[in-house]
Amino acid sequence: MPDPTRRQRLLSVLGKVTTAQIPSDDSESLFESGLLDSFALPDLVAAIEEEFSIKVPDRDLNPRKFDSVARIEAYLEEHGA
Amino acid sequence: MPAFLHAFGAHVPERIVTNEEIGARVGKAPAWIESVSGIRERRWAAEDTSVVDLAVACAQDCLRNAGAEASSLGMIIVASGSGARGFPGPAAAVAAQLGLEGTPALDVPMASAGSLFGLAIAAKMADTFGDVLVIGAEKMSALFDIHPEGASKLDANTAVLFGDGAGAALVSARPQLDANKRCWEILDAALHTDGQFREDLAWDGSSALRMNGLSVILQASRKIPAAISEVLARQNVAACDVQVFLLHQANQNLLVRVAKALGVAPEKVFSNVARYGNTSSASMLIAAAEWASRNPPSGDIVFGAFGAGFHWGALLARSR
C-alpha cells in the first residue's frame, strides 16, 4: 500500500545521494536516467538502511531491487519499513 | 604449521595503452575513463604473448627477488581467469617452462580473487609440499572483443578497465630462506564464495567478458571491508594499526570506498590502478611486488580481493 510518508522519506534519501533531478515517473530507472551510477548505489543502500532502520542482507544486494522509486518502495514495504 | 611470505615478483607487458588511445577506439572521453575508474593507462600484451608467458616472467622475477631457484619449489599455483578454457590449464605449461619435472602445479581458474585464494591455499600446503610459488597471470585484453570471429569491436564498458600482467609470491613453511632477509608470517585468512551472482561477472571462453558493473561494485563495496574486518577482529588487530592494505586493483573509487569503510586514510591502501588498470587475479600481487620493493617487512599487511563468482576474502600477515 502506498505510504506518502515513506515515499517522502525515500525521496529525501535520494536527494542526499544525488544532486540530479529525481524522475517524476516512479517506475523510471534511476540508473538509465543517470541519477545513480555504480558508486552512488552503495551509498543509496547505506542511506536507506540508516533512514529506515533496516539491514539489507547481502542476498538482496541486487541492483534491480533499487532500480526505481517504485521498486525501492516495494522493497521497503516487503520488509516492513 | 606457520607459513611465511618471502618475496614478490611482477611482470607487465611493454605496450602502454593510454586513455586517449582506448577512448578513441570505444567512443569514451579520456577524462571520463579516469573519473569513473582512476585509470590513466594500462598494459596490453602482444597478440602472440600468452598467459603462460606472463606467468613465467613474473615467476622468474619473484625467484630473483627471493634469491631462490625454481628447482627448490615444492609446488606452484597459477591463478588466472583469462587462461584458455579447456585442459590442461596454464599451470602445467608454466611448470614446464620453469624447468620443473614432477613438481605439482595447480590451476586456480578464478578471476580477480584467484591470487588471494592461491596465497591461502599455499599457506596450508607449504608444510607438506615445500616452498610454493603463487602466480596470478592475466591477459584480459583478449576478452573484450564482442565479435571475436568477425571485424574487431571492443566492448566499451570493459575495454577501458582491464589490463594485462602477472604477479607472484613465494610462500614457505621456513621462516628464513636468507639469514639477512626478514619476511611476513601469514596469520589468518578468510575466504568466501556466493554463487548466486555468478552471471554478473563472467567469461564463457569464446565471447566477450560480461560484467554487471552495478552489481559488482555494490557487492564488492560491502564484502571486501567485511572480509578484512573479519580477519582483523579474529587476530585482534585494529585497521589503523595495519601498515598497508594490498588489495585487488579494480577501480580507484572502490579502493577509496574500502578505506573509508575501514576507517583508514586512503593512503594506507596501496594503489597502482592508474598505471595498470584492472589486471584481475594479477593485480594484488603486482601491487604487493611494487610496494614491497620499497618497503621491507616492518608491520602488519593485509591482502584483500573480490571477483567473479563471486569469490572474495582477505589475508593478514605480520613481519618477522
Spatial separation of the C-alpha atoms in residues B250 and B37, rounded to whole Å: 8
Q: Does B213 touch chain A (CB under 8 A)?
A: yes
Spatial separation of the C-alpha atoms in residues B224 and B230, rounded to whole Å: 10
H-run or E-run covering B41: strand B41-43
DSSP class per residue in A13-74: HHHHH--SPPPSSTTS-TTTTTS--TTHHHHHHHHHHHHHT----GGG--GGGGSSHHHHHH
Q: Dihedral of the CA atoms B85, B86, B90, B96 (nearest 10)?
A: -160
Q: How confident is the model at residue A3 (pLDDT cuts 50, 70, 90)?
A: confident
Grid coordinates given for B1: 604449521
Closest Cα in chain B to A59: B196
The CATH number given to B3-172 is 3.40.47.10
Among residues A58, A14, A36, A42, the alpha carbon closest in space to that of A6 is found at A14
Grid coordinates given for B197: 551472482
Q: How confident is the model at residue B90 (pLDDT cuts 50, 70, 90)?
A: very high
B/e letters for A44-53, b = 16+ CB within 10 Å, e = fewer, are bbbbbeebbe
Judged against a pLDDT cut of 90, whether residue A18 lies above it is answered with no
Domain boundaries, given as residue ranges, for chain B: 3-172, 184-319
On the 0-12 / 13-18 / 19+ scale of CB atoms within 10 A, B91 is buried
Model confidence pLDDT, tens digit, residues A49-69: 999 999 999 999 999 999 999
Is there a common fold for B3-172 and B184-319? yes
Spatial separation of the C-alpha atoms in residues A45 and B50, rounded to whole Å: 41
Q: How far apart are the first and last CA of chain B?
A: 15
Model confidence pLDDT, tens digit, residues B128-157: 999 999 999 999 999 998 776 667 789 999
Q: Does B160 touch chain A (CB under 8 A)?
A: no
CA distance A38 to chain B (A): 5
Question: The pTM is what?
Answer: 0.95
Q: Does B221 touch chain A (CB under 8 A)?
A: yes
CA distance A80 to chain B (A): 23
Question: Are the Cβ atoms of B218 and A59 closer than 8 angstroms?
Answer: no
Distance of CA A16 to the CA centre of its chain: 11
Model confidence pLDDT, tens digit, residues B94-131: 999 999 999 999 999 999 999 999 999 999 999 999 99
- Say whether domain B184-319 belongs to CATH 3.40.47.10: yes
> Phi-psi region for residue B5, left (φ > 0), alpha (ψ -120 to 50) or beta?
beta
- Residue whose cell numbers read 541492483: A63
Question: Are the Cβ atoms of B214 and A59 closer than 8 angstroms?
Answer: no
- Give A-chain residues touching B257 at CB under 8 angstroms: 39, 42
pLDDT above 70: percentage of residues in chain B: 99
* Spatial CB neighbours of B178, under 8 Å, sequence gap ≥ 6: B66, B67
Mean pLDDT of the region B193-197: 96
CA distance B262 to chain A (A): 15
Q: How far apart are the first and last CA of chain A?
A: 12
Phi, psi for residue B126 in degrees, rounded to 5: -60, -35
SS3 content of chain B, % helix, strand, coil (to 5): 40, 25, 35
ipTM over 0.95? The verdict is no
Judged against a pLDDT cut of 90, whether residue A33 lies above it is answered with no
More confident residue, A6 or B120: B120
Between helix B252-262 and helix B30-37 the angle, nearest 10°, is 20
SS3 B191: strand
Peptide bond into B225 cis (omega under 30): no
Model confidence pLDDT, tens digit, residues B241-264: 999 999 999 999 999 999 999 999
Peptide bond into B144 cis (omega under 30): no
- Give A-chain residues touching B197 at CB under 8 angstroms: 62
